[in-house]
Amino acid sequence: MIEDKKPKFFYGYIIVLAAFCIMVANAGTVSTFGVFVKPLLTEFGWTRALISGASSLQRFLASLVGIGAGRLTDRFGPRPLATACGLFLGLGFFLMSRISTIWQLYLVYGVILGIGTSGFLVPIISTIPRWFVKRRGTMTAIVLSGFSIGSMIMPPLTARLIITYGWRTSCIILGIIALIVITLAAQFLRRDPGRMGQLPYGADEVKTEESRLLTEGFSLRQAIRTRQFWILCGIFSCLFFSLSVMFVHIVIHAIDLGISAISAANILAILAGVGTASRIISGSAADRIGHKPVLVIGFSLLLASLLWLLVAQELWALYLFAVIFGFGFFGAANLESPLTAKLFGLGSLGIILGGVEFVSVTLSMASPILVGYIFDVTGSYQPAFLTCVIVGTIVVILTLLLSPIRSEQESK
């Protein structure tokens, strides 16, 4: 029985800090793929579409294995998964430093790093809602800002490492960072407050009916029978489509325009840096005005940035693109876990979130390959970026179609 006296310190804040550090290391290392495209082109002469396929395979396997990771998190918590995946991520980057053929790139980056990244996003962002009822959007935003900060720091740093030490040594350095930071931080993770003799933050202020929905909620089988589940999948597949394209191709696009490699890598840094502020703002705004208005604003900014990219030819214009895109993308992406929890409850949140991730990534995984192929055929990124504009328009429409699921739940 939990004592009436509240503990002096709520362990949920340790969960948030540990999860934040893991996200910094995970996202920071994986987001550097676009920086390695130019060195791989130079050394091996592979096409952009062929190189991009390794990134698509990595994202696909991460989402596929992430479904199982979500189920295991629902049962055992995130700590063992995050620890194992930290080991895989470190190993993957060590092996990346030794590749010499295209199949090795696909095996190491696509398969090993795909498995390595599967145990972070879904297990972590499905754990935060278990610890926080109030301030859920804000706490999720803080954790996911680690994605933005890691993506802001590591691409420019990696570009400098490549210039100084070469791309192979840079891979080893990234592997060491991932291995140490992730495996250590993972030891502080816990599945839910009950295991620490505590209650979720704000649980005593939630109405009984709402509390039942949050703690029980839908099973995966029930969730996939609702149109909200598939609308969510459509929304985030469109979102991931654009992000995948930018992480793989925006740096090499800028280099093609005559911009230096370091300045080009800074585009990703600015995009991610703006995303840090965007996540905090959107999480706080969602707690106050609801998820849907924040999503509509975020996707509208995303669409505006893609339209601007069609005419952006100079460095300052690409930096402005990064600001608008980062604010729109990360502000919207930040709401995936809180929105899924609100629609379907916490009982099977891990596996439901894993399902949304898998469908979304599967539908969007070919985007870097498609864009690389379009460039290889046309010699220009303009047709490819126009495709991103069309996808951005679709996501705004899907967001407007999203409605609450409570009425359907009550009618059963």
Residue 166: what pLDDT? Answer: 93
Is residue 208 predicted with pLDDT exceeding 70? Answer: no
* C-beta atoms surrounding 185 within 10 Å: 22
Query: Hey, what domains does the chain have and what are their CATH numbers?
Result: 12-411 (1.20.1250.20)
Provide the token pair at 332. Answer: 């919207």
What's the rounded Cα separation, in Å, for the pair 152 and 28?
7
When pLDDT is averaged across residues 20-35 and rounded to a whole number, the result is: 87
C-beta of residue 277 within 8 angstroms of C-beta of residue 152: no
* Vertex 373: Cα angle to 391 and 318 (nearest 5): 60
* Stretch (H or E) spanning 247: helix 227-256
CA separation for the pair 387, 369 (Å, rounded): 13
The answer to whether the beta carbons of residues 150 and 131 sit under 8 Å apart is no
- Residue 370's pLDDT band (boundaries 50, 70, 90)? confident
Q: Which two tokens stand for residue 139?
A: 């706490």
DSSP letter for each residue of 117-174: TTTTHHHHHHHHHHHBSTTHHHHHHHHHHHHHHHHHHHHHHHHHHHHHH-HHHHHHHH
Q: Which two tokens mark 164?
A: 């100084």
Its pTM surpasses 0.75 = no
The tokens 């490492």 sit on which residue?
161
Q: Please report the pLDDT score of residue 1 as a whole number.
A: 41
User: Is the confidence at residue 203, as pLDDT, over 80?
Assistant: no
Supply φ then ψ for residue 132, to 5 degrees: -130, 125
Q: How confident is the model at residue 93 (pLDDT cuts 50, 70, 90)?
A: very high
State the amino acid at position 131 in one-letter form: W
DSSP secondary structure string for all residues of 208-245: HHHHHHHHT---HHHHTTSHHHHHHHHHHHHHHHHHHH
